[in-house]
Structures are given as C-alpha cells and as structure tokens.
Amino acid sequence: MPLTHQIKPFAQLTVDELYDLLRLRSEVFVVEQNCVFLDQDNKDQKCHHLLLYTNDKLAAYARLVPAGLSYAEISIGRVITCPAARGTGLGRKLMELAIQGCEELFGKQTIRIGAQTYALPFYKSLGFVEDGETYDEDGIEHIEMVRG
C-alpha cells in the first residue's frame, strides 16, 4: 500500500483536494458518527491540511491549527481515517505526520487536542496526556489532551 502525503495551507489546496477532504470529513463526522453540525467552521482558511493518500486515494486527513485559533496552543483537529483503511496503522502514521508537521510549521511546542474518549489509549501511546474533565461534543464524549 504505497503512502504519500502533503501538507498545504488552505489557499494551495486544489478544488479536487478540497472536495475530497470535505467529503471524507462529512462521511465520517456527519454520516457515520451521526453528528448534525456545520463542519465548515471558518477555521480551515487559517490552517494547514494534512492529506494522506494510499494508492492515490485520500485515506486519512488532519487539520493543523495555529495557536490561538481553537486553543491557546497549536492543535491537531478533524483527525479522520476512511472506514476502509481502519486497523491498518494508518491512523498512527497520520498522527505521527501531523505532530511532525506541527513542529515544522510552528516549532516544537505544546500541542492540544480534543480527543474522543474511546481513543484515549491511542493518543496516550503518541505521548498525549489528559488535561481536564470529559465533555460532550455532538453527543460524543471527549477530553482535552496535551503533548509536549
């Protein structure tokens, strides 16, 4: 399974790349997780976008968020792996690339995420620790975590 990835600011995304990432986000967050919310939150334009491809098809995605936009710290959000690629290690590769991308773009500093609680062991294995209490977001239990 040949992997390729790109990290691009919003303005450099092609129309096809933008369509593919918005479709994947909608497929997972709106349809699969049954969360009725407006995914386009006016943050995309200020973020970098990590697109991870297998065989030239978008298989995973994450948004690299500068400090002050979602949290005081830099953050990684909208972390998704397409359903067909789950269980293959692609999620770990995506997060490793996202952490590396954040460090290259913003310097080595604390990264904050809002993690779904079922994924705590996964994020802990990447060096994140819980920070705060659990909270409900669109009917799904989350907790903030930090790394660095």
User: 3-108 is classed in which CATH architecture?
Assistant: 3-Layer(aba) Sandwich (3.40)
Please report the pLDDT score of residue 25 as a whole number. 84
Higher-pLDDT residue of 21 and 40 is 21
Q: Which two tokens stand for residue 114?
A: 């809002």
Tell me the average pLDDT across 125-145.
Answer: 93
Unique residue bearing structure tokens 């092609």: 14
Which pLDDT does position 39 carry in this prediction?
Answer: 60
pLDDT tens-digit map of 76-88: 999 999 988 888 9
pLDDT at residue 137 in the model: 82
What is the torsional sign of CA 136, 138, 141, 142? negative
The DSSP 8-state label assigned to residue 118 in this structure reads G
- Find the helix or strand (DSSP H, E) in which 52 lies: strand 48-54
pLDDT > 70 fraction of the chain, expressed in percent and rounded: 91
101-127 confidence digits (pLDDT tens): 999 999 999 999 999 999 999 999 999
- How far lies 71's CA from each of 5, 79, 103, in Å? 26, 16, 16
Quote the pLDDT of residue 48. 99
